[in-house]
Structure 1
Amino acid sequence: AAKIIKEAYSVLPIYDKIVPTLLDAGVWKLPETCNFSIGVPVGPMLAKATKSVSEIIDKFQGREYTCEYKYDGERAQIHCMEDGTVEIYSRNAERNTGKYPDVVDAISRIRKPTVKSFVLDCEIVAYDREKKRILPFQILSTRARKGVTINDIKVSVCTFGFDILYINGKPLLQEQLKVRREHLYNSFEEVPGVFQLATAITSNDLEEIQKFLDLSVNSSCEGLIIKTLDTDATYEPAKRSNNWLKLKKDYMDSVGDSLDLVPIAAFHGRGKRTGVYGSFLLACYDEHNEEYQTICNIGYWIF
């Protein structure tokens, strides 16, 4: 019963609809009455971590899969209703429409005339249109969280689409990724630096995937997302699935960077960390200025 309620909430996270159904019809009726609805954000499907290309090939042996760039931006779910209204939601179902008026403005340019409504799963990244390159996530994070106007924008963004969950009144969650991707490719026009489809290849060759991984890192991406295409390839809302794997440069000994840092401050813990330090502020020594420069805040846990 708990699993059914959790699945219903991941598709339709509205207690005002779920609770009355539970009281009137019981838990077993939830899948019939609480379905995906445009305008209501679905919990995003997430990928499990993996550490090497060979591990991917072993796990997906005998199945067709695709490798996509993993962009370093903000996960977004764009809902475009039939009346032209556009809403943008974060991975935590927060309304982000006011943060990205330029993305909303671009919808009329990127959707084909046959597309009346859709739900797009995508990544919004900071982008330098003059140099045609992706910028670090830290640049994107300087944007105001709401109330942004087109004239206020100092950080341009590009939206990279990689999945479509709904098209012209039809939910696609139960369709295989190969079918969803066909809808995606047929529904939008790419506008360089504004809207682009995620760079992807379909291959099970170790060397080819390794080269593609290196190319993604050189293109300012985090690594790759690997997804099954036509077997066990439905969209699984709010689930970290074995059918999506992520291979990030940070996970790989041969690609990741290492830093020598020093803790210079500590913060009191909260919740389970009450009574101990919950995190530390780390810094590196700047020999030129003879001072420590702060780098990051890192969590701390006692086992």
Structure 2
Amino acid sequence: MSSASRDSPLFSDFCRLLESISARKGTDLKKQRLEKYVQEWRARYGDFFDAMRLLLPHLDKERTTYGMKEQVLAKTYVDVLGLGKDSEDANYLIHWRMPGKNKQYQKIVGDFASVAYEVIASRSTVIRGTMTVHDVNQQLDTLSITSGRQQQRDIIRHFFVNYTADEQKWIIRVILKELKVGMSENSVLNVFHSDAFNLFNVCSSLHKVCVDLKDPFIRLSTNDIAIFYPIKPQLAHKELPQDVPKAMGGTDKFYIQQKLDGERLQLHVKDGVFRYWSRKTTDYTHLYGANENEGTLTPYIYNCFHHKARSLILDGEMVAWDPIGEQYLPFGTLKSAALDQTDGKNKARPCFIVFDIVYCNGTPIIEQPLSERVAILPKIITEKKGHLEILPHTEGSSVQDVVDELDKAVAARQEGIVIKNPSCTYAPGQRNKDWIKVKPDYVDSLGDDVDVLIIGGIYGTGRRGDRLSHFMCAIKDNNVPLGSEPRLL
């Protein structure tokens, strides 16, 4: 929740900061403006968390969702503003992606917050902002836990009655978790503290970052991994097969693994408690189970860990497993398998495939080389087919080894391969050439051509706001019997 202190700056001043950052060209100028604001905040108000969660709303895990995207917000504002459902302004709100006849809206089509601002501005009676950053956070905290449309309407009405149109524009951007000021999370965090980005990568908590790094002159270890704080996983760099050995710095050998078609997941285990987080640190424990008595996975793997492995953080991929065909299923089947609580030995089920470990028995081990980390896995895990597995690897040292493994992956209709440097440490949140992914579609000769029918389009945003930028396509279903009506998928 937000800071309990009432000594908080005006939200209108915070909005002016965002406008200033957005208007500046170049990252350095944007960072200079934000740095001045951070220094002033620290000197007067101390804890920066109230501001940080508004600057990086997509990283605020204490307010994971507001249950309101553009369409819901549009309908809510139509109701709050008392607009006729067939009125021009209601139409612009509802169809915010589509260019209309009004030139005023054509310039901002595809940007819902800007469209909403134009509609709100002519109706708002609030001329000067009097609400604080703390006030905004309190309302957003409430919005994030509401369960009904009436409560949502009440909060949006509160914003309309008490905040200027400009302030509401930025509140809408926070709710949509996209500020659009031209600064990355890396830039924002590094302005706050030189260790902030690295700390966030190993804890995924803006609150912890703001508390632990409140003093800009005190440095922290970047190895501050803790159990039940989700980390940002290391990511793989894309390369062509012929460029892999050079990209890996000429190492004399590398590991080659299957690139799985699932969802990147990390598993935290301590004293019988299990927690699952996705690549973007979304908590999926409710699906897979927090203990041996609940979920579609934990009851089956609860006893698969060595009794001396008291606390673990494992990195891997969650896939759907077909026990009849004894094969991994496409990614699209994973969620239905994870949600299926019915009994049945032959149903598709979630299977966690482990390929790395970053924490063991109270100690982060990301500084150990990959070869030593993966050697730990068979010592602490008893594999259970179709439930919990360790991803095997082969060793290679040449372009031909990469090509041969990629050919095998193509023949097996797999997604591709991942090549890893055995001597590399684990780099949370980074995409570097110690891990390299190679997929068939990176190679022209291995790509597939598909005939499709365009059946729809979606208007773009920004510079592409007045034109179709994404297309919905269909393919012919070849399983339809001859003589029957054609069917498209």
> What is the TM-score normalised by the length of structure 2?
0.54
Q: 1:149 aligns to what?
A: 341
Is there any run of 5+ residues in structure 1 with no aligned partner, and where?
Answer: 295-303
C-alpha distance after superposition, 1:243-266 (max 9, x if no partner): 110011222223221112232211
Q: Equivalents in 2 of 1:124, 1:106: separation in Å?
A: 14
Are the aligned partners of 2:224 and 2:364 in contact in 1 as well (CA < 8 Å)? Answer: no
State the alpha-carbon separation in 2 of the partners of residues 13 and 293 from structure 1. Answer: 42
Q: Give the AA of the match of 1:68.
A: Q
Superposition pairs for residues 1-303 of structure 1, below 5 Å?
A: 1-2=190-191, 4-23=195-214, 25-26=215-216, 28-31=218-221, 35-52=224-241, 54-60=242-248, 61-81=250-270, 83-100=271-288, 101-143=295-337, 149=341, 151=343, 154-230=347-423, 233-270=424-461, 273-285=464-476, 291=486, 293-294=488-489
C-alpha separation between the residues in 1 aligned to 2:303 and 2:199? 34
* 1:293 partner SS: coil
CA distance 1:273–1:173, change in 2 (3 Å)? farther
Structure 1 144/49 Cα, relative in aligned 2: closer, same or farther at 3 Å? Answer: same
Deviation at 1:95, TM superposition (A): 0.5
1:143-174 Cα deviation digits (max 9, x unpaired): 466xx636499431222110001111111111
**Which deviates the most, 214-223 or 241-250?**
214-223
Distance in 1 separating the partners of 2:386 and 2:316:
14
Counterpart-to-counterpart distance in 2, 1:151 and 1:271: 49
3-state SS, counterpart of residue 110 of structure 1: coil
How many pairs does the alignment contain? 286
Cα distance change, pair 158–9 in 1 and its aligned pair in 2 (3 A): same
Separation in 1, partners of 2:322, 2:296: 15
C-alpha separation in 1, matches of 2:337 and 2:477: 28
* Distance change >3 Å, CA 267–CA 239, structure 1 → 2: same
Whose strand fraction is larger, Structure 1's or Structure 2's? 1
Distance in 1 between residues matched to 2:343 and 2:461, nearest whole Å? 41
Contact 1:21–1:27 (Cα < 8 Å) also in 2 = no
Between the aligned partners of 1:270 and 1:161, the Cα distance in structure 2 is 39
For residues 214-252 of structure 1, the C-alpha deviation after alignment (integer angstroms, 9 at most, x for no partner) is 33334443111111111xx11111111121100112222
Q: 1:234 to 1:98 in 2, by over 3 A?
A: same
Alignment CA distance shift 1:19-1:293 (3 Å): same
CA distance in 2, matches of 1:243, 1:280: 35
Letter aligned with residue 65 of structure 1: F
Task: Give the Cα separation in 1 of the matches to 2:336 and 2:432.
Answer: 31
Residue identity (%): 27
Structure 2: how far apart are the matches of 1:58 and 1:18? 37
Higher relative contact order (CA 8 A, sep 6+): 1
d(CA) in 2 for partners of 1:282, 1:18: 44
For 1:139, the aligned partner's letter is T
Structure 2 unaligned spans of 5+:
1-189, 289-294
Counting helix residues as a fraction of each chain, which structure ranks higher?
2
TM-score (norm 1): 0.85
Q: Which residue of 2 aligns with 1:298?
A: none
Letter in 2 for 1:164: I
Give me the whole-angstrom Cα distance separating, in 2, the residues matched to 1:131 and 1:271.
47
